[in-house]
Amino acid sequence: MNKRTNYFKAILCVLLSCTLLFAATPLIAKKKIRKVVIDAGHGGKDPGCHGVYSYEKDITLAVSKKVGKMIQNELPDTKVVYTRDYDWYPELKERTDIANKEKADLFISIHVNATPKRNSPVKGTLVLVCGPSRINEKEGAIGENANNFEENQGLLDPNDPITSIIIAQYSQAFLAQSIVFGSK
């Protein structure tokens, strides 16, 4: 078994452990996780990072499918829904519509970072949790989509101050749970 396969299996084990720990933590999950939406980042016209041998969109799709299969095997009462299960690009609104329509208990978005150096010392995993202080930053969901608000009707208006208040309150309600889940 090659080194890449071992890393890939280790990552999948960590993701499954997180799911099992989160579902089993009574202080965090007041109800059992019955539905998980898995979002394979990028896709279609958006390849994400370009690796030497691959694109981020292909890796995130493969990892998403494997994580979904592991969840279904280990937690048969948990339904897994994918934002994409082939190479296409769902817009941000489509991704959120899927999660909201399905009334998901957990939303996991999978991305793969890259480094330009071939022998970079940078290694490991990164878990991002969106908190109130990051809502309007350029990298945040609102900031990232502020330029195309007109074409994404149905999203909250990033120029409306009430939007910031609504999102800050909503994200604060789930922040502690998200941080604990991400840390596991």
pLDDT of residue 155: 57
Q: Virtual CA dihedral for 48, 51, 55, 56, nearest 10 degrees?
A: -50
132 and 103 both lie in a single domain: no
pLDDT of residue 166: 73
* Lowest pLDDT segment from 15-19, 61-65, 117-121: 15-19
Q: What angle do CA 121, 63, 86 make, to 5 degrees?
A: 130
Band the pLDDT of 17: cuts 50, 70, 90: very low
48 and 136 both lie in a single domain: no
- Whichever domain contains 67, its CATH number is 3.40.630.40
pLDDT tens-digit readout, 125-170: 888 876 655 544 544 444 444 555 455 555 566 677 787 777 777 6
Spatial strand order in the sheet of 79-82: 79-82, 35-40, 106-110
Q: State the average pLDDT over residues 107-119.
A: 84
Q: State the average pLDDT over residues 97-115.
A: 90
pLDDT of residue 16: 47
Per the CB < 8 A criterion, the answer to whether 8 and 1 are in contact is no
**C-alpha span between 28 and 63 (Å, rounded):** 26
84 and 146 both lie in a single domain: no
In a domain, 116, yes or no: no
- Torsion sign across C-alpha atoms 127, 131, 133, 134: positive
Count how many domains the chain has.
2
Residue 73 has pLDDT above 80, yes or no: yes
Band the pLDDT of 110: cuts 50, 70, 90: very high
Domain boundary among 111, 139, 170: 111
Name the average pLDDT for the chain.
Answer: 75
- Please report, rounded to a whole number, the percentage of residues in the chain having pLDDT higher than 90: 36
* Domain residue limits at 171: 127-184
Q: State the average pLDDT over residues 170-179.
A: 75
In a domain, 117, yes or no: no
Domain boundary among 84, 111, 138: 111
